[in-house]
Amino acid sequence: MNNLKKNSNHSLMMTLLKGRTFIVLILLLIFFSFAAENFLSLNTALLVGKHVALYGILAIGMTYVIITGGIDLSVGAIVGLGGMVAGLLIQEGLTIGNKTIYFSIPLVVLITILLGALIGVINGLVITRFNVAPFIATLGMMYVARGAANLISNGATFSDLKGYEGLGNQGWDFFGSRVFGIPVGLLILVVLAIVFSILLKKTSFGWHVFSIGGNEKAAKLSGVKVNKDKILVYMISGICSAVVGIIASSQLAASHPATGESWEMNAIAAAVLGGTSMAGGVGTIGGTIVGAFVIGVINDGMVMCGVSEFWQMVIKGLVIVVAVVIDQFQRKMQAKMALQARNENK
């Protein structure tokens, strides 16, 4: 009887731990509805949605990386670089010799995404071919990308990114607009979340991602092309970062080299809050999206309450630490329950 009660308590605890992010989101909504005036209004919801789109898309790529046991600190810098490259192509075009070429918006989007993919591939190659720790490799790339973003315009901003009708490069503002009242960025988040969730759950590549994070040596022995899959994972992260760069510059109608600074922390926090284990091998896109909503609500709620930006940084840092501690507790509890189940079956 005691064992039955104990198992029941453990099951309840595990259920609460698995649903912790959603519970925290509900509690935050309740708290800020009282602490911040008009927090539950439609305008605030749309504002939070715009920000969640940015954090969520970044966090999708970060989720893949963390599941493999890695980390990508370059995502925020890729956001800034992607926006600057897009701004350059729209405002000044590409000068080759005495001729300047202006690209249509679809081509600007494609070039920006390819740039993100290339940077991701470089990250993956440095990590796999030269055995550089992901933290160091992506930290170095963060500085490279941020420096390149500043070099493009000598630190200046590309403003008023409307394009020119005669050059056929108008329409950049679409990605920062609304369709049927819903921010386009949020719609892009939904599409990417569905695509990458299916890729992670329903394909052999997704199984490889989990197996690499769970036990890389065992994955190699089972025939998984670990290096190739790691490169693909970092490429996905780079693509997601470039997409965020496109949306952010469109929302602002401007590109600035500092765009995306510290956003890697939001991406990591969203992924970890959503149940992605820093130890690797565990994570879901759905959980990450809920985590992104938690980060978005915390950020905008604190701004509406007049909380200092410095305190916001402290609180987000604490959120990451607490999330990792809870994750470790959950893993230990799962191991303990699995051991008890094996003992009972003997």
Mean pLDDT of 158-181: 88
The band of 222, judged by pLDDT with boundaries at 50, 70 and 90, is: very high
Output the pTM of the full model.
Answer: 0.91
Mean pLDDT of 32-43: 87
Taking alpha carbons only, the member of 114, 104, 88 closest to residue 254 is 88
Write down the pLDDT at residue 260: 95
Write down the pLDDT at residue 104: 93
Write down the pLDDT at residue 168: 82
Interatomic CA distance for residues 61 and 244, integer angstroms: 11
pLDDT digits (tens, 9 = 90+) for 228-285: 999 999 999 999 999 999 999 999 999 999 999 989 999 999 999 898 988 899 999 9
The tokens 């200092």 sit on which residue?
A: 308
The band of 66, judged by pLDDT with boundaries at 50, 70 and 90, is: very high
**Both structure tokens of 222:** 């089972």
Q: Which fold has domain 40-328?
A: ABC transporter involved in vitamin B12 uptake, BtuC (1.10.3470)
Mean pLDDT of 4-10: 52
166 has a pLDDT exceeding 90? no
**Both structure tokens of 41:** 């209004």
Contact 160, 249 (CB under 8 A): no
Other C-beta atoms closer than 10 Å to the C-beta of 293 total 25
Phi-psi region of 223 (alpha: psi -120 to 50; beta: other; left: phi over 0): left
Write down the pLDDT at residue 147: 97
The distance in angstroms from the start CA to the end CA of the chain is: 19
8 has a pLDDT exceeding 60? no
**Both structure tokens of 324:** 């990792």
Q: Which residues contact 241 (CB under 8 A, 6 or more apart)?
A: 58, 61, 74, 75, 76, 78, 79, 82, 116, 119, 120, 260
Write down the pLDDT at residue 333: 75
Interatomic CA distance for residues 69 and 129, integer angstroms: 17
Answer with the residue of higher pLDDT: 338 or 51.
51
Q: Which residues contact 17 (CB under 8 A, 6 or more apart)?
A: 326, 329, 330, 333
Lowest mean pLDDT among 109-113, 155-159, 239-243: 155-159
Other C-beta atoms closer than 10 Å to the C-beta of 171 total 16
- Mean pLDDT rounded to a whole number for the chain: 90
pLDDT digits (tens, 9 = 90+) for 286-318: 999 999 999 999 999 999 998 888 888 888 788
Interatomic CA distance for residues 139 and 37, integer angstroms: 40
Label the pairing between strands 158-159 and 178-179.
unpaired
Interatomic CA distance for residues 107 and 86, integer angstroms: 10
Write down the pLDDT at residue 4: 47
Phi/psi at 39 (5° precision): -65, -35
Contact 249, 255 (CB under 8 A): yes
- What are the sequence ranges of the domains in the chain? 40-328
Write down the pLDDT at residue 338: 65
Phi/psi at 223 (5° precision): 100, 5
Write down the pLDDT at residue 190: 97
The band of 346, judged by pLDDT with boundaries at 50, 70 and 90, is: low
Contact 160, 254 (CB under 8 A): yes
Q: Which residues contact 219 (CB under 8 A, 6 or more apart)?
A: 208, 211, 212, 226
Phi/psi at 153 (5° precision): -130, 15
Write down the pLDDT at residue 96: 85
* Sign of the alpha-carbon dihedral angle for 162, 168, 172, 177: positive
Lowest mean pLDDT among 27-36, 76-85, 232-241: 27-36
189 has a pLDDT exceeding 50? yes
The band of 336, judged by pLDDT with boundaries at 50, 70 and 90, is: confident
Phi/psi at 234 (5° precision): -70, -30
55 has a pLDDT exceeding 80? yes
* CA angle at 137 for the pair 209 and 243, rounded to the nearest 5°: 65
